């Protein structure tokens, strides 16, 4: 176990990497360095490089409902959350309460959350909506705050800005939910960590981790930046990382929080974590239109997509289609974001996703339905077959290498609390929660995307999208 005065490296300054740095410094760790490939925070390589993310506690699994909502400071034990029997450690805070703290509060907006399905929704979407509602309708915290919406007029009575037909809409409104401004949250927590003494090494050369280093293969001088390995690759205790500029950074503990890019550094992670992407688009509004939509609830239509109130600074209205997403599988069966294209907006989303979003707007805000989409992009995240996180030591590394992965599209909301779970792992010297342990399974070659209950549709490969776009361009010519 690394001492609190030992050098600690965190690879990646996304939501989970920054949360880990925050909770380590809060727990008394003194020598923390974050290595980040981007030139600035928010990192364009983070899924959190975005306007906003949904913050809600609706889950089919009550474990995550309680994790996201119930205060763990006084009553929620590890046993309650599914840990091994007689493990009585408790969490300091839950995610939603964490967003209401002075540190995270500036980035949280409790606008409420509307969840619906249209009259054309497949049964899978309806089933998920009903299970999500069931997870909170009997919950003592949620029950008084839930309002059923049983038809278009109910939706319009609640949110007067909905002017579309809302064809066959049924669902509910949950007051205790909303969204977080993700880019601002990343920037704010980064600034806080810098002021607390956390060191950051950034940039495409100095901040890009290219190889993990192991004790059997490396010899370091006593400084935190060593003279480098003297032999080839190996296994065993991890002693640091090499960056693209050729430097070797020594650490007693290395924490890999690279999101969709994790398997590029740790290929064994790619056996059970898949890099997947979803489309993101925006509509540019006027100042008056932004004011008109101010305060609308975060709205999730299970068979079409979701949207948020517009951002007052940029006047951008963000919306995302729902589906199973897209992968980029290589010959080794591992999916990673394309190395030949950076994550910044390519000003393109697949035609099938655009059609969903146009229909979503026709049903809710028809005056916006034919507006051009701007700042379109594919947002990459780390996905697992059961949507469970991985917060664990990598086997065979003598507790010197931790991997944080598998956000599965529902990890950002946990940012205020996530780093505490990493501190718990280090204190316990093992992951006591089986669902968050390192997996020995190999899911490569298996398409499990349609088995996830809250995703509708069929997964596709990015190369298919590129081919489709080329055909469209050729047809236009």
Higher per-residue confidence, 347 vs 432:
432
Measured distance CA(274)–CA(373) in Å, rounded: 28
Query: CA neighbours within 13 Å on the CB side: how many for 370?
Result: 1
- Among residues 316, 314, 309, 313, the alpha carbon closest in space to that of 292 is found at 309
* pLDDT(64) > 60: yes
pTM for the full model?
A: 0.89
Model pLDDT for residues 244-288, shown as the tens digit of each residue: 999 999 999 999 999 999 999 999 999 999 999 999 999 999 999
**Segments in 27-171 forming alpha helices (H):** 62-69, 95-99, 123-137, 152-158
Please tell me the predicted confidence (pLDDT) of residue 60: 65
- Among residues 442, 36, 443, the alpha carbon closest in space to that of 261 is found at 36
Burial 61-98 (b: 16+ CB within 10 A, else e): ebebbbbbbbbbeeebebeebbbeeeeeeebbbbbbbb
Measured distance CA(338)–CA(461) in Å, rounded: 11
Average pLDDT value for residue range 319-334:
93
Measured distance CA(413)–CA(405) in Å, rounded: 14
- Among residues 199, 337, 153, 200, the alpha carbon closest in space to that of 263 is found at 337
Q: Which residue do the tokens 């965190």 mark?
A: 10
Measured distance CA(113)–CA(172) in Å, rounded: 8
Phi (first) and psi of residue 317, to 5 degrees:
-105, 110
Name residue 11's beta-bridge partners: 35, 256
Token pair for 30: 């003194």
Alpha-carbon separation of residue 314 from 7, 309, 413 (angstroms): 40, 12, 22
Model pLDDT for residues 181-221, shown as the tens digit of each residue: 999 999 999 999 999 999 999 999 999 999 999 997 544 43
Name residue 324's beta-bridge partners: none
Phi (first) and psi of residue 99, to 5 degrees:
-65, -20
Query: CA neighbours within 13 Å on the CB side: how many for 430?
Result: 6
Cβ neighbour number for residue 271 with a 10 Å cutoff = 16
Higher per-residue confidence, 289 vs 127:
289
Model pLDDT for residues 161-178, shown as the tens digit of each residue: 999 999 999 999 999 899
């Amino acid at each position: 176990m690394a001492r609190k005065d030992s050098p600690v490296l965190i690879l990646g300054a996304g939501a989970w990497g920054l949360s880990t740095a925050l909770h380590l410094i809060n727990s008394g760790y003194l020598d923390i360095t974050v290595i980040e490939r981007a030139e600035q925070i928010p990192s364009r390589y983070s899924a959190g490089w975005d306007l906003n993310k949904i913050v809600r506690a609706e889950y089919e699994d009550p474990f995550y409902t309680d994790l996201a909502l119930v205060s763990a400071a006084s009553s929620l034990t590890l046993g309650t959350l599914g840990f091994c029997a007689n493990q009585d450690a408790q969490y300091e805070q839950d995610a939603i309460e964490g967003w209401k703290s002075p540190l995270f509060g500036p980035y949280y907006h409790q606008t409420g959350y509307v969840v619906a399905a249209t009259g054309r929704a497949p049964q899978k979407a309806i089933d998920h909506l009903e299970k999500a509602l069931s997870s909170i309708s009997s919950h003592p915290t949620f029950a008084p705050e839930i309002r059923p919406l049983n038809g278009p007029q109910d939706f319009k009575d609640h949110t007067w800005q909905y002017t579309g037909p809302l064809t066959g809409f049924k669902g509910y409104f949950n007051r205790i939910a909303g969204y977080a401004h993700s880019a601002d949250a990343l920037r704010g927590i980064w600034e806080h960590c810098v002021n607390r003494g956390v060191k950051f090494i950034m940039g495409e050369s100095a901040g890009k981790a290219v190889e993990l280093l192991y004790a059997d293969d490396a010899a370091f001088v006593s400084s935190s930046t060593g003279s480098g390995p003297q032999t080839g690759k190996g296994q065993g205790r991890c002693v640091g990382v090499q960056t693209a500029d050729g430097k070797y950074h020594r650490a007693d503990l290395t924490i890999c929080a690279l999101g969709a890019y994790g398997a590029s550094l740790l290929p064994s992670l790619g056996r059970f974590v898949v890099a997947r992407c979803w489309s993101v688009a925006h509509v540019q509004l006027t100042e008056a239109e932004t004011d008109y939509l101010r305060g609308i609830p975060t709205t999730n239509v299970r068979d079409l997509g979701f949207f948020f109130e517009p951002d007052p600074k940029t006047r951008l209205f963000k919306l995302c289609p729902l589906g199973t997403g897209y992968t980029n599988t290589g010959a080794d069966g591992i999916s990673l974001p394309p190395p030949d294209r950076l994550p910044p907006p390519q000003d393109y989303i697949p035609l099938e996703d655009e059609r969903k979003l146009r229909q979503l707007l026709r049903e809710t805000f028809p005056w916006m339905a034919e507006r051009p989409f701007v700042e379109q992009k594919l947002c990459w995240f780390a996905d697992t077959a059961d949507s469970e996180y991985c917060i664990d030591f990598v086997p065979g590394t003598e507790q010197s290498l931790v991997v944080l992965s598998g956000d599965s599209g529902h990890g950002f909301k946990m940012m205020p609390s996530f780093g505490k779970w990493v501190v718990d792992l280090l204190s316990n010297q093992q992951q006591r929660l089986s669902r968050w342990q390192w997996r020995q399974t190999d899911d490569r070659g298996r398409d499990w995307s349609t088995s996830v209950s809250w995703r509708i549709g069929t997964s596709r490969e990015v190369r298919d999208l590129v081919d489709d776009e080329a055909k469209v361009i050729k047809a236009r010519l």
